[in-house]
A and B are shown apart, each in its own frame.
Chain A
Amino acid sequence: MARPLINVPVKVKRGETFEIKTLISHVMEPGYRFTTTGARLPRDIVTSFCCSYNGVEIFRADLSPAIAANPFITFFTVATESGTLEFKWTGDNGFSETAAATITVE
């Protein structure tokens, strides 16, 4: 499956707030759907997403089955220093996915 899609500006001025957009492929099966023969499709969702900036957590989200398939989450953070943004998604059935993006702060 595709690597997660991360959208951050390449360069930001120090102290400025910038937006981070994330998109990951995941079926987000809610656990409330049934097959035509009546078998329930078990829940299979991403339960948690977090982002750290040079090792410090700056954002965390607790997801529920109400989040649409292929979870899309955007948020903001202040540009403090150049470095790496690390993203991690965890979920049911041992799901774990990571991504990273570098940012230059001038």
Chain B
Amino acid sequence: MSERKPGATRRAVVIGGFFAATIVTDPAQATPEQMRAAIRNVVGSASIRKGRVQLDVPPLVENGNTVSLVVAVDSAMTATDYVKTIHVFNERNPQPYVIAVHLGPRAGTARIATRIRLADSQTLTAIAEMSDGTFWSTSADVVVTLAACVEGI
């Protein structure tokens, strides 16, 4: 049995007849392993502690194209104790990164909001890198539904 890279498949399907076009499907979904690898890429070998981070995302989303996301971190944001970076990762979009924001003591409050895309129901993970080198994280599950009447044209 040939070895297959977990999660990443690339299939080329040739359709004959009128089209004769090649339809290539991308690795349409990343995997939890790819997300963990992306996290390791950012965090290195440091341990990640649970807590201090709040992820506010609707548990049930009416459309995965635009999902509101708020990330906040408990921090006094002083010159010596502040949030350096907030990273957000996903486990089922084609790639595991969502956003990375670079803050500093001038932020005053470590809280950002944005709107993201989610390809499927999945778990989001937010990781805060503090000025003292520690990493803190939290996760949230999101259920993504689709519109019934989509546009085919």
Please determine whether chains A and B interact with each other in the same assembly.
Answer: yes
Residue from A62, A64, A69, A72 within 8 A of B95 (CB atoms): A64
Contact assessment for B107 and A58 in the assembled complex, using a CB-CB cutoff below 8 Å: yes
Chain B residues within 8 Å of chain A by Cβ, number: 35
Q: In the complex, how many angstroms separate the beta carbon of B69 from the nearest chain A beta carbon?
A: 9
Tell me if B140 is interfacial: C-beta within 8 Å of chain A.
no
Give the tally of cross-chain contacts (CB within 8 A).
100
Interface centre among A40, A53, A74 (most CB of B within 10 A): A74
Give complex CA distance A17, B78 in Å: 13
Asked if A63 is at the interface (CB within 8 A of a chain B CB), the reply is yes
Given contacts A59-B101, A67-B114, A68-B66, contact A76 B93 (CB under 8 A): no
In this complex, how many residues of chain A approach chain B with their Cβ under 8 Å: the count is: 30
- B36-64 interface (Cβ within 8 A of A): none
A71: interface (CB < 8 Å) = yes
